[in-house]
Amino acid sequence: MPTPTAFLRGEFVPMEDAKIGVMTHAFNYGTAVFEGIRGNWNAEQEQLYLFKVRAHFERLRMSAKIMRMELRYTDDELVEITNELARRNGYNEDIYIRPMVYKSTEAVGVRMHDLDDDFLLFVTPFGNYLDPDAGIRCMTSSWRRIDDTMIPARAKVNGLYVNNAMAKTEAQLNGFDEAIMLNSDGHISEGSGENIVMIRNGKLISPPETDNILEGLTLDTAFDVARNELGLEVERRSIDRSELYIADEIFMTGTAAHVTPVTEVDRVPIGDGGTGPISAKIQKTYFDMITGKLPQYSDWISPVYEASTVAGD
């Protein structure tokens, strides 16, 4: 097995040497932005496919801009470094790649300015985060979603995830799989690491970008599948908590979570309490897409290993 490798301070280093100091600003104050990119293993083709790498780096750049951070690599360089890192790690299983731009100066003092930024990347084997087959049981969190006027949720800011972690832990300690967070005005925002979609009368409905959500790439993908493959309508509008209880189907989307059906919210069964038919279709297409089985979506996936092993070439 190759040596687990990370990218830190401009170079590839063995994972065990990829360390940052205790005074690092980002560690002390959460002053960093991050991404999560999946590599999905196709056993038949013996190929690992990265999903929407460029889009993830576009969002990282957006997060960095909001946080006044500098991402000193071009998109092409970031894609190249990511492919190279995935290749060097040589995993033959699903992986999760974590890019981060962080305030690297070792200094005490709360601020965003006059600090250095560094970029890092690490890879870890990563199976299912939630259970996409059985679906999940969610609870409405008593922790409200942080507002754009506090820490912008459309930026994937490390420190912001304390809000998400509070909600996730509350849900799990209460016997649920995942939390659904409400905005201060009581409308639905999102899960702790997922966007939420409800289906009513054959239409997919998800909160708008202005309801303190991360602008999810998996959500975009699910919407594209719904529109293009299933001919369904999609809508962005605010959602009430009670609407979730009477939805025909609900699913959550996320790089870690994939497309995962929600079978229950606050102990109310959604639909008949199983995976709904539309969710099932979207999920199947999504899994086929990310494992390189749908040539019409090849622009979104990039093979990590030698092209000669890719079937269909």
The minimum distance between CB 195 and ligand PMP, in angstroms, equals 5
Closest CA to 213 of 190, 235, 241: 190
Question: Which residue, 5 or 191, is less far from ligand PMP as judged by CB?
Answer: 191
Between residue 33 and residue 72, which ones bind ligand PMP under the rule CB under 6 A? 36
> What tokens were used for 272?
């008949």
Question: Which residue, 30 or 36, is less far from ligand PMP as judged by CB?
Answer: 36
Question: Which residue, 193 or 271, is less far from ligand PMP as judged by CB?
Answer: 193
The minimum distance between CB 296 and ligand PMP, in angstroms, equals 20
Asked whether position 31 contacts ligand PMP by CB under 6 A, the answer is no
Give yes or no for a contact between 197 and 224, defined as CB atoms under 8 angstroms apart.
no
Between residue 183 and residue 212, which ones bind ligand PMP under the rule CB under 6 A? 190, 193-195
**Residue in 39, 99, 135, 216 binding ligand PMP, rule: CB under 6 A:** 216
Give one DSSP letter per residue of 136-200, joined into a string.
EEEEE-SSPPPPTTTS-TTS-BGGGHHHHHHHHHHHHHTT-SEEEEEPTTS-EEEESS-EEEEEE
Site string for ligand PMP, 151-180 (x = CB under 6 A): -------------x----------------
d(CA 254, CA 171): 18
Chain length of the chain:
313
d(CA 203, CA 276): 13
Total number of residues binding ligand PMP (CB under 6 A)?
14
d(CA 51, CA 54): 9
Give one DSSP letter per residue of 12-59, joined into a string.
EEEGGG----TTBHHHHH--EEE--EEEEEETTTTEEEEESHHHHHHH
Question: Which residue, 67 or 115, is less far from ligand PMP as judged by CB?
Answer: 67
Question: Which residue, 141 or 218, is less far from ligand PMP as judged by CB?
Answer: 218
Between residue 227 and residue 266, which ones bind ligand PMP under the rule CB under 6 A? 253-255
Asked whether position 132 contacts ligand PMP by CB under 6 A, the answer is no
Distances (CA, A) of 91 to 8, 224, 304: 20, 29, 10
Closest CA to 100 of 136, 55, 63: 63
The minimum distance between CB 42 and ligand PMP, in angstroms, equals 20
Q: Which residues are catalytic?
A: 156
The minimum distance between CB 160 and ligand PMP, in angstroms, equals 8
Binding site for ligand PMP (CB under 6 A): 36, 164, 190, 193-195, 214, 216-219, 253-255
